[in-house]
């Protein structure tokens, strides 16, 4: 797989960072893409230090033009994009009755529109090569819902629908499109949760622990590998059993 190129959006920290490091260990050339330029560079340095190969991309996935330009830059430099992991995501929680439109718009724009923009730019090359892997990072919240997260739940449920539609569109070209739906994973995004809520979450998880980024990264690693060549349109839950 050494000549294959993988783009990981939101690759600067958390699940994205771990996914980038994990995929680099399989021999993929990594494009660490996010607006966090300094953190992108740190992840790329870690990949290089471990003997891997990587470049960084300052990328705002909420902008169609930025995604188009960014992906064109990768293709100009590397000639191809074989693997796309749509991991970029944010939360702006609040009760639906009082949710600001700006918070609704931004979460949908980054989490859902951004994934579509990226897939649209990556797919033509994959279709031409008759090989490709797209993995969208959804969420248990997109499957089960969550109070105070109408925007996030809608964006992640939308990602699951997008995954299935794309899988049907491009399957005949040797391209698989799958989703990974993490449960509660220890990242910056969940670090700020109140202790009481964390304990309540733990009580709902049969495996009795929160996930770690490697749990999700390893699922992505499997789905982009040749071992998963006959899996497409699938939502792989990585949630410790909290939602079945």
List residues with catalytic annotation.
152
CA distance linking residue 66 with residue 232, whole number of Å: 28
Q: Which residues, 6+ apart, have CB-to-CB distance to 74 below 8 Å?
A: 5, 7, 31, 55, 57, 81
Candidates 168, 82, 71, 182; CA nearest to 120 is 71
CA distance linking residue 107 with residue 210, whole number of Å: 24
Candidates 169, 18, 170; CA nearest to 87 is 18
CA distance linking residue 197 with residue 203, whole number of Å: 10
Q: What is the DSSP string of 22-67?
A: HHHHTTPEEEEEES-HHHHHHHHHHHHHTT--EEEEE--TT-HHHH
CA distance linking residue 188 with residue 62, whole number of Å: 20
Using DSSP's 3-state secondary structure scheme, residue 9 falls into: strand
């Amino acid at each position: 797989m050494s000549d294959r190129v993988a783009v990981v959006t939101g690759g600067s920290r958390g699940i994205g960072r771990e996914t980038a490091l994990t995929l680099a260990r399989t021999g993929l050339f990594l494009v660490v893409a996010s607006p966090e330029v300094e953190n992108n560079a740190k992840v790329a340095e870690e990949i290089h230090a471990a003997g891997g190969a990587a470049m960084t991309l300052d990328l705002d996935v909420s902008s169609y033009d930025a995604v188009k330009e960014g992906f064109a830059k990768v293709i100009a430099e590397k000639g191809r994009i074989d693997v796309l992991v749509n991991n970029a995501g944010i939360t702006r929680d609040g009760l639906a009755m009082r949710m600001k439109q700006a918070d609704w718009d931004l979460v949908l724009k980054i989490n859902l529109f951004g994934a579509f923009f990226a897939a649209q730019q990556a797919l033509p090359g994959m279709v031409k090569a008759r090989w490709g892997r797209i993995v969208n990072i959804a969420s248990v919240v997109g499957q089960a819902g969550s109070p105070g997260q109408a925007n996030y739940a809608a964006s992640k449920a939308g990602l699951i629908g997008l995954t299935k539609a794309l899988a049907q569109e491009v399957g005949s070209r040797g391209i698989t499109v799958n989703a990974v739906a993490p449960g509660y994973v220890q990242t910056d995004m969940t670090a700020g949760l109140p202790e009481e809520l964390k304990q309540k979450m733990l009580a709902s998880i049969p495996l009795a622990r929160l996930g770690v980024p490697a749990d999700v990264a390893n699922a992505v690693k499997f789905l982009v590998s040749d071992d998963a060549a006959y899996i497409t349109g699938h939502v792989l839950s990585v949630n410790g059993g909290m939602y079945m």
